[in-house]
Structure 1
Amino acid sequence: IENLTSNVDTIVANITNKQSLIDMCARTKVLVNCVGPYRHYGEPVVEACLQARTHYIDICGEPQFLETIQLRYDSQAQEREIAIVGSCGFDSLIADLGTETIRKECEQKDLEIALIESYLAIDAPKATVHKREIVNYATWEAAVYGLHHAKELKSLRQKLFEQKLPYSKYKIEKKSNFKTTIHGKSFWVVPFPGSDKSVVQRTQYFNYTKLHKKPIRFQPYFQMPSFISVVKLVFYGFIFSLFTKFKLGMQCLLK
């Protein structure tokens, strides 16, 4: 930091020093938090933004953090007229805005939409994947802790979603054979484990409880290149899940 030559000011703040965070937030109208895992470093920044009356934006993809922040600070943010906006990065802006764009298009044509599926495909050369990490450590660490604490989501959501949403009778067909067909072409797919579904569901809850709009079922998928890749992912996913259940396994994953 000391060697930076840019004319942009550098402000040093630490989550262990609450006043330093408040002082930092007080110097701007909008703060964009890009430091994760957010379960470790995010909440003190949100609190500081509320104290300084600064709008907060992040690129978080951790459902437990996002939902906890909404549960704990939504009323305070409304009272102070401060916006706390999470998931404004790859997770999960595209899924959320995409769903609402489709809803808007359907409403303009007097159509009612019941469900949406999204499919994510990564187009990266094998050589590129082999030469460098395709997931940074903070994302990996967030995934490890997220799965380790996954059981806590049920009780959290019972508090957050007090009303049951009246979804359409039409349900998204489960891809039990990991295969789907789009425009006559078959694809191998697995459920996308990111925060997309969590974020979209919270928007649907808001739309119904505040705007009186019918909720839309949403399910994101990750497109796989072959059946072998599906088998590998399921196998590694099982090992990953197993390791997150034990302290020694967690230590191995985080090294």
Structure 2
Amino acid sequence: MNNKRQYQRTISIKIDPMNIRKYDGLALDLKNQTMSGYIGQEIMPLIGDSSLEFSRDRLKGGKKILHTSSRMKNTVWLDPNRQFLDYDHLIAVDTNTKKVCGSTVSITAAYHLIIQNHDSGKASCAGSVLALFEAWNVKEKPENIGWWQVLQGIEKRPQNFLGSIGFIVDSDLDNHNKFNLREMPIVGDYFLPTNVHLMYASDQGGSEYLSSKMIKYCHDLASDLFKEENLVMNTGDLRQGVDGLYSHFRQWDTEARDLRQIFELI
């Protein structure tokens, strides 16, 4: 008998209020998992911005956000995985922070998926670990410092990241809208690049969400490094950090490490 408690899940879709004035009503296509507007018998794409959110009830009240994302193209999708296919790249970034001998050590892992083609509900992707690095005694939010480092690396190699980028993270959700509108910097005076859109996913979101699988994989990669390396005794390649941001920094060679496989999750 399965005694595991089941929590109710909720889907929420926010659309531009202009759609209410423009259309006679909204149409849900459950087979294709889309939402549209209609005038008379004519189905039309929704206008303006829209966002998709999945959540579940908590045991002690309130709700746990599992996933948030915004559409890139005209179609408003009810399926978050299908919505991801509108991006050219998906990058998940997660940071784990622990106390080590009186210092704080933050390890960030990033995973990159390139959407190569998709048709009839199926997609093929090419994936790789993009980065694995540690920062000591971070002064700002460790997660945001991790985003900043990954985004800086992307901007140094623009030829490898052409097109739109869905940037999946699991923190600072309350500020995502301001980050995406470029109203608030991520760190210091650094704003989100124009081709990058921030999205949220929880590693507890469930196996049906690609975003949750990617975030969990990054979380596990960072945890593995804490378990497998004596970060205090092994000071090789540990260099001076950026004044005012962190004391020391180290980039790990992902090709030289025996990393867990993401296909164990996907």
Using the size of structure 1 for normalisation, the TM-score is 0.25
Structure with greater proportional strand content: 2
Q: More helix by proportion, 1 or 2?
A: 1
Output the TM-score relative to the length of structure 2. Answer: 0.24
